[in-house]
């Protein structure tokens, strides 16, 4: 058994726990992963693991938040790129969101199990996901309004509406029904409708 590193801080240990859980989730899925196995991988007792995370769902929640932050940081960097139109920025944003979620679907064989467990026991996490994406969407919409005269009444409502129209490109349950190429093609069609709807009326 791996020897437990007692010199780690609490936050460092939590990150190690998430790394160990990540490997387990990828290898065997969420349902088949046991707390005792995660503890064993770290060389710590199961009782000690429960001190940091009271349940496997709590680990999944922290793991999901870490994924959200990684996704949001990548998308935020995308928005900082210059010399592109706001239409191109919106298109790139949607495509990057699709690719991030598709990669997650490929890496985790039973990601739907994680989603179902979190929706049932940590419903506020769903709003956390939406809020992070919405804040980035609002940056694009605001700039599009200022530079290209995009038309919308309420930036929050419009942002949520656009993200809702992208559900099948960001939800594993729907994404697994199509290839990446099919999803990209469908997203392009939805994006064209969205962009047309934002254009100034003549």
Considering the domain architecture, whether residues 94 and 190 belong to the same structural domain is answered as yes
Joined together, the tokens standing for residue 166 give 């992208």
pLDDT, residue 7, reads: 65
Range of the domain at 48: 10-52
Q: Is residue 46 domain-shared with residue 109, that is, in the same domain?
A: no
Q: List the CATH number of the domain containing 128.
A: 1.10.357
> Do 85 and 165 share a domain, yes or no?
yes
**Max CA-CA distance within the chain?**
70
Q: What is the pTM of this model?
A: 0.85
At residue 3, the pLDDT reads: 54
The structural domain count of the chain equals 2
Mean pLDDT by 10 residues, the chain (202 residues): 62 92 90 94 92 94 92 91 89 95 86 89 92 96 95 96 94 88 97 95 76
Stated length of the chain: 202
Q: Do 87 and 171 reside in the same domain of the chain?
A: yes
Within-domain flag for 95 = yes
> Could you tell me if 169 and 94 are in contact, meaning their C-beta atoms sit under 8 angstroms apart?
yes
* pLDDT value of position 90: 96
Tokens of 24: 């387990």
**Residue 89 contacts residue 83 (beta carbons within 8 Å):** no
pLDDT at residue number 6? 61
- 26 lies in the same domain as 109: no
Pair (86, 27) in one structural domain: no
């Amino acid at each position: 058994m791996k020897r437990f590193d007692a010199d780690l801080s609490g936050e460092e240990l939590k990150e190690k726990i998430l790394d160990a859980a990540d490997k387990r989730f990828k290898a065997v899925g969420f349902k088949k992963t046991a707390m005792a196995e995660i503890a064993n991988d770290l060389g710590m007792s199961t009782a000690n693991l429960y001190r940091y995370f009271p349940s496997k769902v709590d680990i999944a929640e922290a793991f999901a938040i870490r994924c959200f932050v990684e996704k949001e940081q990548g998308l935020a960097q995308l928005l900082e790129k210059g010399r592109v139109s706001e239409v191109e920025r919106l298109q790139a944003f949607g495509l990057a969101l699709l690719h991030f979620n598709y990669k997650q679907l490929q890496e985790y064989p039973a990601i739907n199990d994680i989603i179902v467990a979190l929706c049932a026991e940590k419903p506020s996490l769903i709003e956390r996901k939406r809020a992070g994406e919405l804040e980035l969407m609002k940056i694009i919409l605001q700039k599009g309004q200022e530079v290209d005269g995009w038309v919308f009444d309420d930036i929050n409502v419009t942002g949520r509406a656009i993200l809702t129209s992208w559900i099948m490109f960001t939800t594993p349950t729907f994404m697994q029904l199509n290839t990446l190429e099919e999803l990209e093609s469908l997203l392009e069609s939805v994006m064209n409708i969205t962009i047309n709807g934002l254009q100034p009326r003549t």
